[in-house]
Amino acid sequence: MELGKAIDADWRDFQVCGGVRVRCYVSQPGDCADARPLLLLHSINAAPSAMEMRPLFQQWAGSRPVYAPDLPGFGHSQRGALPYSPEFYAEVITDLLSQIEGVPPDVVALSLSSEFLVRAVCQSGRPVHSLVLISPTGLGSREPPGPESGERIRKILKAGWLSRGLWRALVSPPSIRYFLGQAFYGKAPDALVSYAQQTARQPDATDAPFAFLTMQLFTRQALENLYAKLSCPTLILYDEDPNIGFDKLPDLTTQSHWVTSRRIVPTRGLPQWERPEETAQALTEFWQQLTQ
């Protein structure tokens, strides 16, 4: 099945991590060339892509340069046997940031990619203007398993017959609709479901999702090891989420004067799709406060 575009926009290919190809949707309005760039990072799961960030791309595409990449392993970017890890994705984001022209960008990340983004910013020192983290992982009471447990899970799932059967079940139309449906109080949008089904059927589609499923992409004690180290203005958007907890969010906002939070109600993990107007308003007000 040929994979179409997730967003009606031009493409630009970036080279990251010494030669990994990242395909990025780009909007560069000619009369807004001096505006602050916006980088949008989709989540990590069985079938993510820049489609998850399409409402935000469309919201600001006419007023500022906007970049929405498919991260490696997904969408139109390079897939296959890459060194999928938190460190790898942090390096990908660092390299992307270094290639975005203009003043330091605002960056919006969804779910697990929030961990990668914070790691990239804190470790690289790459300047950014602000961060917005939508339903970030790593702030709940449950800790991901350690490396040894993750490796055991990986070995079990890499058994040929088991991995093939599991993958077919995971990316079947009923399964994708079910899991995306968990992220909405209402029905998951058909466009989001249909594109997830398409991108999951591309060649080499299993490698990155299996790294996610075996818990190799999560950081233990993310509050202490990642979020507490933030030193740039950061807004966290959240509400209910069937897979992510926010028990430690009050601790973070109390400890750090850099981090604020805002609840977009009622949503279940994808407020940019379920409550696009409220989400856009929250981002606009946050960015406006930074200029006062």
Question: What are the b/e assignments for 123-150, b being 16+ CB within 10 Å?
Answer: ebebebbbbbbbbbbbbbeeebeeeeeb
Q: Domain residue spans in the chain?
A: 10-290
Predicted confidence pLDDT, tens digits, the chain (292 residues) = 789 999 999 999 999 999 999 999 999 888 787 899 999 999 999 999 999 999 999 999 999 999 999 999 999 999 999 999 999 999 999 999 999 999 999 999 999 999 999 999 999 999 999 999 999 999 999 888 665 655 655 565 655 545 677 777 888 889 999 999 999 998 999 999 999 999 999 999 988 998 898 888 999 999 999 999 999 999 999 999 998 999 999 999 999 999 999 999 999 999 999 999 999 999 999 999 998 7
DSSP state of 112: T
207 vs 241: CA distance, rounded Å: 25
- Phi, psi at 242, each rounded to 5°: -70, -20
Tell me which residue has tokens 């949503």.
267
CA distances in angstroms from 201 to 16, 63, 117, 168, listed in the order given: 25, 34, 27, 9
Q: Which residues pair with 108 in a beta bridge?
A: 40, 132
Span 10-290 CATH architecture: 3-Layer(aba) Sandwich (3.40)
Q: What pTM value is reported for the model? A: 0.95
Write the burial class of residue 254 (CB in 10 Å: 0-12 exposed, 13-18 middle, 19+ buried). Answer: exposed
Q: Which tens digit of pLDDT belongs to each residue from 199-248?
A: 999 999 988 998 898 888 999 999 999 999 999 999 999 999 998 999 99
- At residue 10, the pLDDT reads 96
